[in-house]
């Protein structure tokens, strides 16, 4: 995923976005302004819903950046260079220049992102409870919505198939078991293809029930299958390595 805009660096890591991230902001803010916020906090003006929706969408994109930074900073700790972080419509990508020396490093790098999302979700739940009042406010509901989304991001990313974080956790465990990162990648790639197909089928099921959210699941499933297939193909051409913890 090539970046369209470069915003600067954090800890020396180039941070950028693909133009499609604007689509994410529009979809999230529109959904919040048209349906979610009016249902949760009725009686406000359209302007209030839209301003809140846009602000929440921007904060959600920032939470995706935190997720990717957790991966990248952990990679730097294990002396794995980070080329860049790029945010796009379906999430974010941390481009690493190689593997850590051990499966333990690979495990911790993969787990860092979901751990960050889990932490943000927990903070959001706590913040929402602190803001709780007799009548729900836009701020309270926005914080709780962000909490739920970050917790969902954590759970979804732990599905056991590359390129998802859960697939990279699986790869690290298989690397530790087999002593061969190439074989571990090949197995995790097959798992990723299976996960992608299941996500796409869930999207089809939603479309059958006339839920437009199925289109998003179809797109995500398609991307997962493509990425998993590409990683499996690359694994077959890598030199054999036997580094273990």
| Nearest-5° Cα angle at 182, 104 to 171 | 40
The single residue of 3, 48, 68, 206 carrying the catalytic annotation is 68
Beta-carbon contacts of residue 242 (< 8 Å; ≥ 6 apart): 179, 180
By the 10 Å C-beta count (0-12 exposed, 13-18 middle, 19+ buried), 169 is classed as buried
Strand partners, 96: 82
Cis omega before residue 115 (within 30°)?
no
Asked whether 138 and 151 are in contact (CB, 8 A), the reply is no
Q: Is 68 a catalytic residue?
A: yes
By the 10 Å C-beta count (0-12 exposed, 13-18 middle, 19+ buried), 97 is classed as exposed
Active centre residues (catalytic):
68
């Amino acid at each position: 995923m090539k970046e369209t805009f470069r915003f600067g660096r954090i800890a020396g890591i180039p941070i950028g976005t693909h133009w499609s991230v604007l689509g994410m902001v529009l979809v999230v803010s529109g959904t919040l302004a048209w349906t979610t916020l009016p249902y949760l906090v009725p009686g406000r003006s359209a302007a209030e819903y839209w301003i809140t929706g846009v602000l929440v969408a921007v904060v959600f994109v920032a939470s995706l950046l935190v997720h990717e930074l957790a991966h990248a900073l952990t990679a730097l700790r294990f002396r794995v260079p980070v080329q860049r972080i790029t945010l796009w419509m379906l999430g974010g990508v941390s481009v690493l220049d190689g593997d850590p020396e051990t499966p333990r490093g690979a495990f911790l790098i993969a787990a860092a992102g979901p751990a960050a999302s889990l932490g943000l979700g927990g903070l959001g739940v706590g913040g929402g409870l602190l803001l709780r009042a007799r009548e729900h406010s836009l701020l309270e509901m926005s914080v709780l919505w962000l909490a739920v989304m970050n917790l969902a991001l954590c759970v979804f990313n732990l599905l056991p198939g590359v390129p998802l974080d859960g697939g990279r956790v699986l790869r690290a465990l298989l690397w530790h078991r087999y002593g061969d990162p190439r074989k571990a990648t090949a197995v995790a790639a097959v798992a990723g293809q299976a996960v992608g197909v299941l996500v796409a089928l869930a999207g089809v099921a939603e479309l059958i029930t006339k839920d437009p959210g199925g289109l998003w699941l179809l797109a995500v499933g398609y991307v997962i299958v493509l990425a998993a297939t590409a990683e499996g193909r690359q694994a077959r051409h890598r030199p054999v390595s036997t580094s273990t913890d």
